Amino acid sequence: MKKLPVFILTVVLVVAASTVAWGAGVLRVATEAGFMPFEFVDEKTGELLGFDMELIKAIGAELGMEVKIDNISWDGLIPALLNNNYDVSIAGITITEERAASVNFSDPYFESVLTIVTKSNVQNIASLDDLQGKIAAVQISTTGDFEASDLQDAGGLKGVSRFDTVTDAMQAVIIGAADVVILDLPVANAYLEANPQAPLKHVGPVADNEFYGIALNKKNTELLEKINGALTQLHENGTYDKIYQNWFGAQ
């Protein structure tokens, strides 16, 4: 067999190395598993479960990559990407202009909307306009937190109590330390279904729809393209619909 010219051989080796990196590499994923049904910890097994967890594993399968997921703090997700500790973050992260200034986002993969959770016997709260003089509990640095901050700055809310998890925010309302929780509607539904004894209810959509995206370091444009391609494939081959139905029922 004739030897390849050095230049061509070098190109072949680089391409081969790149293929191995993507085909058999590890996709390092950061999440914050306090956002049921998107990501949560199974109390019996300690396994990370949820819509996002199943989706990112399906994306990894499309890319031919092993998926390794770490559960870290919510406010550490974007800094971890900026420090290149992880390749992607997926945790029901709403695409916002502020966040997009720091990281890139994949194509939107889920459409959501905010709601208000309050005590079951409360009859005078149905919209954000009804929160005058109230105290809102929120998960820190979420769109619920951003909305509550805007309401407080505008003189609507009396105060905002910030918590690390949705469960802690809900508990604040249950014990009377806050009047409402402002959060994503699918998360409110999941919490109420998992805790039917909780004396709480939600009031339905109260804001414009928002969209979740997978976050990446802005320098990682090659992986961004591949993830968007994988998302397209999952929609086209029906895998996305199966995952959606598994966690939310028929679309």
In contact, 179 and 134? CB cutoff 8 Å:
yes
Q: Is 211 exposed, middle or buried (0-12, 13-18, 19+ CB in 10 A)?
A: middle
Tokens 């990682």 belong to: 220
Q: Report the pLDDT value the prediction gives residue 96, as an integer from 0 to 100.
A: 93
pLDDT reported for residue 250: 56
Q: Is domain 114-208 annotated with CATH 3.50.50.60?
A: no
Average pLDDT estimate for 61-86: 96
Q: Are 80 and 86 in contact (CB under 8 A)?
A: yes
Homologous superfamily of the 6-111+211-248 domain (CATH): Periplasmic binding protein-like II (3.40.190.10)
Task: Map out the domains of the chain as residue ranges.
Answer: 6-111+211-248, 114-208
State the chain's maximal CA–CA distance in angstroms. 84
* CATH fold match for the domains 6-111+211-248 and 114-208: yes
The number of C-alpha atoms within 13 Å of 49 and in the hemisphere containing its C-beta is: 11
Tell me how far apart the alpha carbons of residues 88 and 67 are, in angstroms, rounded to a whole number. 11
Mean pLDDT of the chain: 90
Instruction: Give 26's contacts (C-beta < 8 A, 6+ positions apart).
Output: 65, 66, 67, 68
Phi, psi of 34 (to 5 degrees): -130, 35
pTM given for the model = 0.78
Q: Which residues contact 138 (CB under 8 A, 6 or more apart)?
A: 144, 145, 148, 160, 161, 162, 163, 169, 181, 182, 183
pLDDT at 251: 53
Residue 12: pLDDT band (50, 70, 90) is: very low
pLDDT digits (tens, 9 = 90+) for 179-218: 999 999 999 999 999 999 999 999 999 999 999 999 999 9
